[in-house]
Amino acid sequence: MTDLNGKTAMITGAASGIGLASVELFVERGASVIAADVQDEAGKALETRFGSDRVRFVHCDVTQDADLQNALAKGHEAFGRLDILFNNAGSGGTPTRLEELDLDGYDQTMALLLRSVFAATKFAIPYLKENGGGSVINTSSISAVCAGYAPITYSVAKKGVAHFSRLAAAELAGDKIRVNAILPGFIATSIFGNSLGVSKEVSLQMSEMIAQNGGTMQPAGRVGHGRDIAEMAAFLASDAASFITGSEFTVDGGMTVGPRHSWDTSDPGPLLNALGLTIEQAEAMRDAMLAAKTT
């Protein structure tokens, strides 16, 4: 089991979804956590739940440099060290297609998903160096790999996060700071509802619907949960991952292994569709061919 005893982590986007699951798991594994988020009520509830000696909530809008600097300073003041930075805060990004692209929305998406990762890492370096190094983990997405999972602005920002992780790993290797990216698949959180601008209640209902009905979306046969990503983050944060830096880790239940027909035997796939064949017809043809070869 991943051991985070004696380590201090700052987790952004800590009040919900993947961030919340990470706060829970990091504390379970022995870490103290600076929980940074814009949701004050949910953030303060974390302090009450775990005790302020284990979790400190700091109001922090990751698009604001002063907020990031304040969160890091407050965390350092409270726990005396920083070993792990988990850049995880995010939302769905501007949903418009290129032709209608809202350029202000583009700027906001990049500020939240990409610039914040640069800024938080830059501000965290002196603290991480103080203890001889540390681990930076960045939440990217499978949308960094190909189209079809998220809007173009979001996906390009997440590709940037993945590439940033590789380049920052090279730059910070001498300081013994490891940098890695996690590429989650579909994880049942409120991000989908939040991106549509629905109320918090509806957003939570939507994440429950995904949790109940999303099992068939990927080869793993079950939906992804925040805890699945938190487990990878905890591993990358731990000394067990001391040889791992500059890498990308896909945690998607196999969603990106290949097109649906490659893992779902009930899906005929594009070739059979183009040939107008059912799976049964194609199998009968294959069996006949094999039989002809053996006679």
Ligand X SMILES: NC(=O)c1ccc[n+]([C@@H]2O[C@H](COP(=O)([O-])OP(=O)(O)OC[C@H]3O[C@@H](n4cnc5c(N)ncnc54)[C@H](O)[C@@H]3O)[C@@H](O)[C@H]2O)c1
42, 117 contact by CB (below 8 A): no
Residues recorded for the chain:
295
Classify 142 as helix, strand or coil.
helix
Contact flag: residue 16 with ligand X (CB under 6 A): yes
Residues 132-151 that bind ligand X (CB under 6 A): 139, 141
Nearer to ligand X, 70 or 131 (CB): 70
Q: How far apart are CA 94 and CA 197, in angstroms?
A: 11
Query: Which of 4, 19, 84, 155 lies at the binding interface for ligand X (CB under 6 A)?
Result: 19
Return the range that interacts with ligand X (CB under 6 A); candidates 15-23, 68-76, 236-244, 282-290: 15-23
Measure Cα distances from 155 to 134, 161, 214 in Å.
27, 10, 21
Contact flag: residue 22 with ligand X (CB under 6 A): no
Contact flag: residue 38 with ligand X (CB under 6 A): yes
Per-residue string for binding with ligand X, 178-207, x by CB under 6 A? Answer: ------x-xx-xxx--x-------------
173, 193 contact by CB (below 8 A): no
**At closest approach, how far in Å is the CB of 107 from ligand X?**
13
**At closest approach, how far in Å is the CB of 207 from ligand X?**
7
The set of residues, in sequence order, having a beta carbon less than 8 Å from that of 65 and lying 6+ positions away, is 119, 123
Q: Which residue has the tokens 């603290």?
A: 127
**C-beta neighbour count of 245 within 10 angstroms:** 21
Query: Which of 39, 121, 135, 155 lies at the binding interface for ligand X (CB under 6 A)?
Result: 39
Tokens for 51?
Answer: 């005790």
Q: Is 127 annotated as catalytic?
A: no
How is the beta sheet containing 55-59 ordered, strand by strand? 55-59, 32-37, 8-12, 84-87, 134-139, 177-184, 248-251
Classify 194 as helix, strand or coil.
helix
**At closest approach, how far in Å is the CB of 86 from ligand X?**
10
Return the range that interacts with ligand X (CB under 6 A); candidates 37-45, 164-172, 241-249, 265-273: 37-45
Contact flag: residue 60 with ligand X (CB under 6 A): yes
**Applying CB under 6 A, which residues contact ligand X?**
12-13, 15-19, 37-39, 60-63, 88-91, 112, 139, 141, 184, 186-187, 189-191, 194, 226
- Catalytic residue numbers read 154
